[in-house]
Chains A and B, each alone.
Chain A
Amino acid sequence: MSTTDTTAQDAPFPRSGAGTGKRANGPRGSARKSRRGPSGRNTDGAGYATLHHVILSIWALLVILPLLWTIYTSFKTSQEILTDPFGLPATPQLENYTRAWSEARIGDYFLNTLIVVGSGLVIVMLLGAMCAYILARFRFPGNRAIYFGMVAGLTFPIFLAVVPLFFVLRNMGLLEGRLGLIGVTLSYVAFALPFTVFFLHSFFAGLPDEISEAAEIDGAGDFRTFFHVMLPMAKPGLASVAIFNFLGMWNQYLLPLVLNTERGNYVLAQGLVNLQAQQGYQVDWGGMFASVVITVIPVIVVYVIFQRQLQGGVGPSTNK
């Protein structure tokens, strides 16, 4: 993920005057001299750009330094961590990782998280798209009421619902043993639904009528129109909403904290807090840092792979 890689894809719209080769890749000074400068504004451009670089660099450092520090600290012994917070590890402690993975059961938690977040994401995207499509494109009595009822869900504090929810799920038998993961997944889905419907609604509403009318004239039924015509057109919206839902679910803490009480079903967030709380006086700092790294790296990798989906704008892709 080098600088040049990412700048190269950073050109979603055509640049006017691209023919003069203004990628500004050369040294700034020479670029400034070689370019036309009919107005005073054009010549002070480099000064602003430098200022912006300084600010952005400070911000980038603020973001990266804590993460880098966490990564190399995860290779230190607890002793080293406490006595010299900045020093590099004398010998890299790979055992920190094996200890975190097996003894602290981070491996198990990882698998649980994948199951819950993976299935929850698929279900919520499907249900959310279906619901948003109906609400956005069909007029029927109660449409607005249902839509506002859904959107109001965005403002409900989860902690208010969480204990009654516990009993709802327990009465359905969805909190016992491994089945517990189903209960947790369903609650993730239910609480991600308002967000999903809210955002996809504006996508589906923004898609031009002509296309669905054309599909109708061509004899496509409602199901076919949805799955073969409308859903593909909403793809950019689906992608960004999916990314946000993924992060939201990976982040979820209160729901599993209350609903997911069996140790064997713990998700990563629970496992880590538990690890931190449990250790008390005998803190295994090295193992803690290693667990944090194990949890963070996959999300960052997933993000870096899919980040292009987020930058292309989040509007429906029907204009061209």
Chain B
Amino acid sequence: MTSSDTYVGQGEAAAATHPVGRRRRRRRPTVERMLFFLLFLGVPLAVYLMFVISPFLQSFYYSMTNWSGLSPSMDFIGLSNYERILGDAVFWKSLRNNLILLIALPTITISLSFALAIMVTIGGSTHGGVRGVRGAGFYRVISFFPYAVPAVITGILFNFVYHPGGGLLNGFLNLVVAVLNGALGLLGLGPVPEVHNAWLGDQRVALAAVAFAMIWTFVGFYMVLFVASIKSIPQEVLEAARIDGAGRLRSAVQVVAPMVRDNISTAVVYIGIFALDAFTFISVMTPNGGTANSTKVVSLHLYQTAFQNGRFGEASAMGVIMALVTMLVAVVVIGVGRPRKDER
């Protein structure tokens, strides 16, 4: 990530924030230079414009039509799709779920992954150099596994874990219940009933259950990123902090965190964007959005509106709203991180 910028000299830091400009280069563009630009900038841009930008622009137009998605006919109906969406209770419920994820996922994921990253990098014995606990490499490698598991599989896997009959979670809880009942029996108390919860069917816990699967996936990933950036902090800085009497917690919060701030704000943006989508997990774990739409998110609502109800115009309008929300979130998070960055 960009943390490396922190440690280059002033001049290079300036170069990193502004594209390198060498005025003399602009004097006479050679044939090679023009060919170079054409190929190196032209080809990627063509792909990007054709397959990303143009579909997006088209969907802005579709959002103002009553297109069904497959029929060739459509009428321009102005903003009626938007009006309909604003009056759609399911949309608001879905948006609410997205916003819950938007707050919960980055907070929990980043605190956990930062804490774990600190433990494997500077949490070890205080003798000798600042380092992580023993077996740090093992923990780091293991932690990344969930991210290597495709999201679809994680969803299916957690479907098994939460399964009311043969699921891992109920199985585990029932082991605890069995032990507890043994103890209660000795005390002459009545047994606690076995657990047969359908975790994903229960509207009070379904969203939390799905969110747990998401956190499980992402913590290791961000931990690995944080570990990499913490390791790029010069050892002397951490040792100096320790010699000055900073403990691990203080080093982590006051020395390390500010130095990896760029990474943290990038991570917030990424998890935030993910939280506003979340389609894969939700659609695999609760294909219809859960009991009483308890886990429905806008992306799933949009997908159903477009592909199951054949109202593609309306679905596009939802997408446009979400695109605006997503950009707003990104701008806010990056904006919060940026002014400090320019201070250096």
Q: Are B235 and A13 in contact (CB under 8 A)?
A: yes
Q: Are B12 and A206 in contact (CB under 8 A)?
A: yes
Contact A268 B48, CB 8 Å, known A56-B119, A311-B231: no
Interface-lining segment among A88-96, A99-107, A312-320: A312-320
Residues of chain A lying within 8 A (CB to CB) of residue B37: 134, 138, 140
Contact A254 B279, CB 8 Å, known A31-B127, A63-B220: yes
Measured in the bound complex, the distance between the Cα atoms of B280 and A71 in whole Å is: 23
Q: Are B15 and A209 in contact (CB under 8 A)?
A: yes
Residues of chain A lying within 8 A (CB to CB) of residue B277: 157-159
Contact A157 B142, CB 8 Å, known A35-B127, A46-B125: no
The B-contacting residues of A in range 1-42, CB under 8 angstroms, are 1-3, 5-10, 12-18, 20, 22, 24-25, 28, 31, 35-36, 41-42
Measured in the bound complex, the distance between the Cα atoms of B119 and A187 in whole Å is: 40
Contact A186 B47, CB 8 Å, known A222-B32, A311-B228: yes
Contact A159 B279, CB 8 Å, known A16-B235, A85-B167, A311-B228: yes
The A-contacting residues of B in range 215-269, CB under 8 angstroms, are 216, 219-220, 224-225, 227-229, 231-232, 234-235, 239, 245, 247-248, 269
Is residue B79 within 8 Å, beta carbon to beta carbon, of the partner chain?
Answer: no
Measured in the bound complex, the distance between the Cα atoms of B52 and A190 in whole Å is: 6
Q: Are A157 and B153 in contact (CB under 8 A)?
A: no
Contact of B168 among A3, A48, A69, A159 (CB under 8 A): A69
Contact of B47 among A86, A134, A189 (CB under 8 A): A189
Report, as a range, how many residues of chain A touch the other chain. 35 or more
The B-contacting residues of A in range 204-240, CB under 8 angstroms, are 205-206, 208-209, 221-223, 226, 240
Contact of B56 among A86, A160, A269 (CB under 8 A): A160
- Smallest distance from the beta carbon of A191 to chain B beta carbons, Å? 6
- Smallest distance from the beta carbon of B38 to chain A beta carbons, Å? 10
Contact of B150 among A268, A289, A303 (CB under 8 A): A268
Is residue A133 within 8 Å, beta carbon to beta carbon, of the partner chain?
Answer: yes
User: Main SS of chain B's interface residues?
Assistant: helix
Is residue B204 within 8 Å, beta carbon to beta carbon, of the partner chain?
Answer: no
Measured in the bound complex, the distance between the Cα atoms of B16 and A205 in whole Å is: 5
Q: Are A155 and B330 in contact (CB under 8 A)?
A: yes
- Smallest distance from the beta carbon of B25 to chain A beta carbons, Å? 7
Closest to B1 in A: A314
Contact A156 B52, CB 8 Å, known A16-B239, A131-B45, A254-B280: yes
Measured in the bound complex, the distance between the Cα atoms of B37 and A221 in whole Å is: 13
The B-contacting residues of A in range 238-267, CB under 8 angstroms, are 240, 247, 250-251, 253-254, 258
Contact of B5 among A9, A193, A194, A206 (CB under 8 A): A206
Q: Are B138 and A7 in contact (CB under 8 A)?
A: yes
Contact of B55 among A12, A24, A62, A161 (CB under 8 A): A161
Closest to B37 in A: A134
Measured in the bound complex, the distance between the Cα atoms of B129 and A28 in whole Å is: 16
Measured in the bound complex, the distance between the Cα atoms of B44 and A288 in whole Å is: 39
Report A's interface with B, CB cutoff 8 A.
1-3, 5-10, 12-18, 20, 22, 24-25, 28, 31, 35-36, 41-42, 44-46, 48-49, 52-53, 55-56, 59-60, 62-67, 69-70, 73, 81-86, 127-128, 130-131, 133-140, 143-144, 146-147, 149-150, 152-165, 168-169, 186-187, 189-191, 193-194, 197, 199, 202, 205-206, 208-209, 221-223, 226, 240, 247, 250-251, 253-254, 258, 268-269, 272-273, 276-277, 285, 288-289, 292, 295-296, 299-300, 302-304, 307, 310-316
